[in-house]
Structure 1
Amino acid sequence: MDTRVIKYFLTVAQTNNITHAAQQLHVTQPTLSRQMIDLEKELGVTLFDRKQRRIELTSEGILFQQRASTILSLLTQTKQELQNAKEELTGVLNIGCVVSKVSKFVMKIISNFQKKYPKVSFNLYDGNGDLLRQRLDSGLEDFAVLIEPVEAAKYNFIVLPVHEQWGLITKRSDQLAKKHSITKSDLYKLPLIIPTRNIVRDEISDVLKLDQTKLNIMATNNLPSNAYELLKAGNYYMLGIQGIVNSFHDPELTFIPFSPHKDTGHVLAWRKNTVVTPVMEKFLQEFADQAENS
């Protein structure tokens, strides 16, 4: 089966119109129609439900569309791998990363990777979990470094040897700063800045047995930068991870862990059913080796 015919089929399947597909492919309509009929004869099935002005895929056509897309992706990947076997590894990797102490771990791996493969460059993007997932799903990121939990059904991931502890961030001069830990009864009394992600709020609530309706929520935040300024400017307390305080290196702020203890891990995630390029594969191997040896 000619790969050219596979490309023709995928274009017809995408446009649902032989005339429009022929125009895109720069072939005549009769030629394209004949190619599709010959393809159906070769496969022994009907791929298209032909109507007056529009054609639609049959169930067999939908299955072939899925397989044909995979075939072309594998051919492209194989060509890249063969080319990179002859030449030095090159490419661009798009990586999103949450703001936590995992950043140091990730940046060290990137630095070591570029020493081995200096022609590989990186586009780095900071964000919270929801934003990074959206960018990952839309293909804007090849990888995202996320705080657990992640949707195992949607993503492949490598568990990283970096954990963060959850607690309360406050001014060091505050009376609460003298406490060794924070309980739910403490939180009910405070004007709070809390994370926007519902899944994070729910996990914290489950651990502390919190009634969220009793919390005095003054603001929500997706990234710590602006909330940090609000925290310093007024009478606020922020739920967050210890890495936020560590990243700002501000002696005016302190972190008090929750009781019961609540910590969370990190993962390097990438989409399932996506083509892993040679440069992505090399980077994944580097990450896996570092995670295993740390």
Structure 2
Amino acid sequence: MDTRVLKYFIAVAKLGNVTKAAEQLHITQPTLSRQINELEKEIGVDLFDRVNHRLVLTKSGALFQQRAQTILDFILQTKSKLQNQDNDLSGTIRLGCVESSVSIFAMNMIEKMQRKYPHIKFDIYTANGNDLKEKLDQDLLDLIILIEPIEAAKYHYLQLPNKDQWGLIVKKDSKLAKKDSITAKDLYHIPIAFTKRNLVRDELIDILKLDANKLNLRSTHNLAGNSLLLVKSGLFSMVSIKGILDVYNSEGLSFIPFKPFTLANHITAWKKNSYLSPATEKFIQLIAEEINFVPKK
């Protein structure tokens, strides 16, 4: 199957119209129609339904679009990695990063890298730890920065010096905002939002000795931004790291630490037994030097 045909299919899927897609691709409409028909014959399923002069993806078509885009992205990434082997270090580093106080560290490292190697570019992907690990496992990211814990057997990693405090984010005029610390007992009496990442939730529940069945869990999230808006509305409070307030607008919000005092550690991780481009290896080396990491002999 020609990758050119995959590009044709994706263009038609996005625009829902062969004529518009043909114009965008700079080919004739009959040629594009023939290519799509031949693709459907080759695969053996209908990729589109024809509805009111529009092409709408079938269920099979939607799945094929996802896989086709992954294939094209992988080819592009492979070309980029091969280009990175040049002596003049260049190419793109695909970096995934959580939202926390570590974001400042990550952006500072990117700045240092680009000042030293101006031909290197970064594709920055922001998500929670589960999403980042999934993208790393699928070779859609080269390197990720996230909050522990992590499955150590699957990855190489460096522990970063950045630590963040766990606690509760509440509206400033709430009763809880007057407290010096939050205990497990406090959490049982309020509606809360919590991270979607099970490993982190389970660790916090264990550290704080929470009874998960007593929690009034009203919302989960992968990123905190939208949930913070609901905290500002007074609808609920959010279990979170303090560094979230460094990333988002914290006006009208207060952070109260947990008791016992609970810290989140950060790491940067990459897949074991996976090819790393020279640019990515150099970036890892730069991070190691920044944190004064000495490999074990």
Q: How many residues align?
A: 213
Structure 2 distance, partners of 1:278, 1:198, is 34
Q: C-alpha offsets along residues 149-208 of structure 1, whole Å, 9 cap, x if unaligned?
A: 111110001111100110000011111111110001100000111111111111111111
Residue identity (%):
45
Structure 2 distance, partners of 1:250, 1:205, is 26
Give the equivalent residue in structure 1 for 2:211: 211
Structure 2 distance, partners of 1:252, 1:234, is 10
- Asked if 1:196 corresponds to 2:190, the answer is no
* Deviation >3 Å, runs of 4+: none
Q: C-alpha offsets along residues 62-83 of structure 1, whole Å, 9 cap, x if unaligned?
A: xxxxxxxxxxxxxxx9x978x6
Give the equivalent residue in structure 2 for 1:220: 220
The answer as to whether partners of 1:80 and 1:278 remain within 8 angstroms in 2 is: no
Structure 1 distance, partners of 2:279, 2:191, is 47
Structure 2: runs of 5 or more not aligned = 1-80
TM-score (norm 1): 0.70
Q: C-alpha offsets along residues 237-293 of structure 1, whole Å, 9 cap, x if unaligned?
A: 100000112222423001000001111111110000101221111111101011228
Structure 1 distance, partners of 2:276, 2:245, is 36
Give the equivalent residue in structure 2 for 1:57: none
Structure 1 distance, partners of 2:195, 2:277, is 35
Structure 2 distance, partners of 1:132, 1:148, is 12
Give the equivalent residue in structure 2 for 1:110: 110
Give the equivalent residue in structure 2 for 1:163: 163
SS in 1 for 2:152: coil
Give the equivalent residue in structure 2 for 1:50: none
SS in 1 for 2:243: helix
Give the equivalent residue in structure 2 for 1:127: 127
Q: Which has the larger radius of gyration?
A: 1
Let me know the Cα RMSD of the aligned residues.
1.6
Structure 1: runs of 5 or more not aligned = 1-76
Matches within 5 A, 1:274-289: 274-289=274-289
SS in 2 for 1:153: helix
